[in-house]
Amino acid sequence: MTEPNLELSPIGNCQVSALVDEAAGFVWGCVPRVDGDPVFCSLLNGDRQDEGVWRFELEGQVSATQHYVRNTPILVTRLEAEDGSALDIYDFAPRFERSGRMYRPVAFIRIARPVSGAPRLRVRLKPMRNYGEELSKTTSGTNHIRYLLGDQTMRLTTDAPVGYILEDCSYRVESDQHFFLGPDEPFVGNIRSEVRGMEANTRKYWQHWVRGLHIPLEWQEEVIRAAIALKLCQHEETGAIVAALTTSIPEAPASQRNWDYRFCWIRDSYYTVQALNRLGALDVLEKYLAYLRNIIDQARGGQIQPLYSVMGLAELHEFEAENLAGYRGNGPVRIGNAAYTQVQYDCYGQIVMPTAQAFFDTRLLRMADERDFTHLEEVGEAAWAKHDKPDAGLWEFRTRQEVHTYSAVMCWAACDRLSNVAARLGKADRATFWKERAETIRATIDARAWSEEDGHYVASFESNYLDASLLQMVELRYLKPDDERFLATFEAVERELRRGDHMLRYAAEDDFGAPETAFNVCTFWLIEALHLTGRSEEARKMFEAMLGHTTRSGMLSEDLDYTTGELWGNFPQTYSLVGIINSAGHLSKSWSEVR
């Protein structure tokens, strides 16, 4: 039995998603949405790799190769057998406009297409219920199988022999076979023609979406793959963007740093929409802004949490799924995330900044107006009140609080951007008001986060340790890249946290000891800082090295073992994909060189 790894390829439709392993196995996927019950859970199922999986096995199989259909998340896996027979498996979740709205059902489609010889196929469809507690019970009909998944029943409609699937028997595939695993309702129409139509329409949707992106000249495929994956991390119904599609892939072996990332962090989402904005993907921004407006309404001028459910729910009680052994046996598997109880004051800036764009960008279907400004000022008031107060920080320390420099700078950014918005609306008095507050916060940061003894900024007002978020002071326009204070801080951060071609988020011990792996987005922050301070050739080499660590599907997880190069942490991680997009944009040659 092959040990689970992160050589996985995502498919999805912004309602459901699945991670497909190298041999066409669905090893992770939740219904009815990303934070639901993982009916496909073999990725975290320890030795029970044949449970919680949907696997296509070719008799006598000797190889499997994969690629995506160009500019789509439609995955093609070719399985080849020792006798020369072969077949292609097409995997996708349908997504296209139908009847005046987006059709994105809770459904997965698989097509098996014989390529050569007489392939014999075994279909193992073994979904589980209640976080790996037990295999689903089934009922069946002539052309379908129903999987009773507790509150959620799913129906497989197929033109393959149902009896062979129920009995785990191999059979000869002589023509294309179609599998639609979706809602528990009769499948309307001919399965072959309907599924083929869905495949064509899904392909068309994604290729048209990609055609609208403003991508850099270099690393086009890498940027497109990252952009598609980021869009798959949006729950379109509400506009929420999850940090990753998985839970409890540990940051390092036996580290206990196992967290559920299937929620919407205000911080992570800010970085995601910023990256996609640079590519012109305004559809993601618009939907996310609607989600933010709901969050602001619910807060009613009060505390904004660092994260919410994709439905905007505030309480995300954390518990352990006792029936799942964890990734490579590295438990626990956590469901929910207790970080929702924390205070992280950087969230105020991360609400104001993407929302500020809506006052300036005339491309948007719904531009922000004075009513939105009134609500946004409430967020600014919270930023002003909390800018010098202790919080858990962006790294979400669970056992200590300090006044984190990154959080204070984000509060500064909230007031600074509100001044810009007020000026845009012709409110000169409010522009002055918010500019003065921003300058007051800046004075506080410069007085309390600058260490005269060390000659650089430090990560918190109370201590002199360093973290990689200090490099974001340029991205946030707090400092210019040629500012001597930034150059000194960059030198210190690089000296303290760089490990070869990789970057730690911090080196100091935290709640779980010293970090053991590099944090991929911090490596990209290092790459950007190198470029902005005139070390572009070094930045390019480091960027190419990072791309060498991506999976064959172009994905990255949250963390990386900087000694072995192995990926760890939840997958695919939006932070890390944002780093690919931003670094490519910084480092690419200009289109003017070829046109």
**pLDDT, tens digit, for every residue of 455-512?**
999 999 999 999 999 999 999 999 999 999 999 999 999 999 999 999 999 988 777 6
Placement of tokens 């998944």 in the chain: 149
Strand duo 120-126 + 170-172: pairing? antiparallel
Helix/strand/coil (H, E, C) string of 472-538? HHHHCCCCCCCCHHHHHHHHHHHHHHEECCEECCECCCECCECCCCEEHHHHHHHHHHHHHCCCHHH
516 neighbors 255 (Cβ within 8 angstroms): yes
Global pTM value: 0.97
Q: What is the C-alpha separation between 179 and 113, in angstroms, rounded?
A: 12
Q: What pLDDT is attached to residue 275?
A: 98
pLDDT at residue 301 is higher than 90: no
Range name among 354-368, 385-399, 409-423, 532-546 with the lowest pLDDT average: 385-399
pLDDT at residue 8 is higher than 90: yes
pLDDT at residue 315 is higher than 70: yes
183 neighbors 105 (Cβ within 8 angstroms): yes
Class of residue 433 by CB neighbours under 10 A (exposed 0-12, middle 13-18, buried 19+): middle
Q: What pLDDT is attached to residue 128?
A: 98
pLDDT band at 514 (very low <50, low <70, confident <90, very high): confident
* Cα–chain center distance at 446: 34
434 neighbors 416 (Cβ within 8 angstroms): yes
Q: What is the C-alpha separation between 438 and 590, in angstroms, rounded?
A: 35
Q: What pLDDT is attached to residue 164?
A: 97
Q: What is the C-alpha separation between 291 and 235, in angstroms, rounded?
A: 10
Class of residue 131 by CB neighbours under 10 A (exposed 0-12, middle 13-18, buried 19+): buried
Residues paired with residue 81 on neighbouring β-strands, in sequence order = 61
23 neighbors 102 (Cβ within 8 angstroms): no
Averaged pLDDT of the chain: 96
**pLDDT, tens digit, for every residue of 365-388?**
999 999 999 999 999 999 999 999
Q: What pLDDT is attached to residue 1?
A: 58
- Closest listed residue to residue 174, CA positions, set 183, 161, 184: 161
Amino acid at 208: H
Q: How many CA within 13 A on the CB side of residue 236?
A: 18
Helix/strand/coil (H, E, C) string of 162-178? HHHHHHCCEEECCCCEE
